[in-house]
Chain A
Amino acid sequence: AQSVTQPDIHITVSEGASLELRCNYSYGATPYLFWYVQSPGQGLQLLLKYFSGDTLVQGIKGFEAEFKRSQSSFNLRKPSVHWSDAAEYFCAVGPGGGGADGLTFGKGTHLIIQP
């Protein structure tokens, strides 16, 4: 069965500091991996996705993520966070497009930005 683990429930980072959010997955086939961001009371916005090819993927808002098959990880990074990055971040695994299966989400990491 597929699963996603986000080990950090909360992370606090100072504004301007770098950020790394961890994600580990378990998936039977070649994984399609996603990072979504959710602001309070809002839906999900796709930050970036990995299907194949270059293992370092660039997303919106200055985020990037690196797929490491040997570690079953897909960690999200940002070199310098802004106060507006405070939100809930979800890692997900599943089919890339037109798949018959929904996504499996991690439990999320709540990002707090300190001034």
Chain B
Amino acid sequence: GAVVSQHPSWVICKSGTSVKIECRSLDFQATTMFWYRQFPKQSLMLMATSNEGSKATYEQGVEKDKFLINHASLTLSTLTVTSAHPEDSSFYICSATNSNQPQHFGDGTRLSIL
């Protein structure tokens, strides 16, 4: 089946640093990738939609300058959490899709900001 790889799976960093998370579609070309955020014991909330070659579309309440998204190729999207603070600590999950695929999810990245 289709596989989406997300890296890193876990990151701990100091407050004020920036963290980049990669989302790769391994066996299909992902025209669209989505980034979700999941707080402990909560559901997934869509943060942004990323179409290859275009600017990402952010959901209401998500700061685009805080969460920078790049989707430069059909197999890679990156989420950069800039100047991260403890309140940014969360589980971030990406998904990838195209016209022939439902959304396939990565294994998530647990981000802990000290």
Contacts and interface: CB of A to CB of B under 8 A. Distances in A.
A98 B104 CA distance: 12
A106 interface: yes
A43 B6 contact: yes
Contacts of B43: 90, 105-108
Given A43-B6, A100-B32, A105 B44 contact: yes
A94 B49 CA distance: 13
Nearest to A60: B1
Interface in A6-56: 32, 34, 36, 41-46, 49
Nearest to A41: B110
A103 B42 contact: no
Interface residues of B, number: 28
How would you classify the secondary structure of chain B's contact residues: helix, strand, loop or mixed?
Answer: strand
Contacts of A34: 102-103
A87 B98 CA distance: 28
B64 to A, nearest CB: 16
B49 A103 contact: no
B111 to A, nearest CB: 13
B93 to A, nearest CB: 6
28 contacts: A34-B102, A42-B107, A42-B108, A43-B6, A44-B44, A44-B93, A45-B105, A46-B102, A46-B104, A49-B102, A90-B43, A94-B103, A96-B102, A97-B97, A97-B98, A97-B100, A98-B97, A98-B101, A99-B32, A100-B32, A101-B49, A102-B36, A102-B95, A103-B34, A104-B46, A107-B42, A108-B42, A108-B43
Interface of B: 4, 6, 31-32, 34, 36, 42-46, 49, 91, 93, 95, 97-108, 110
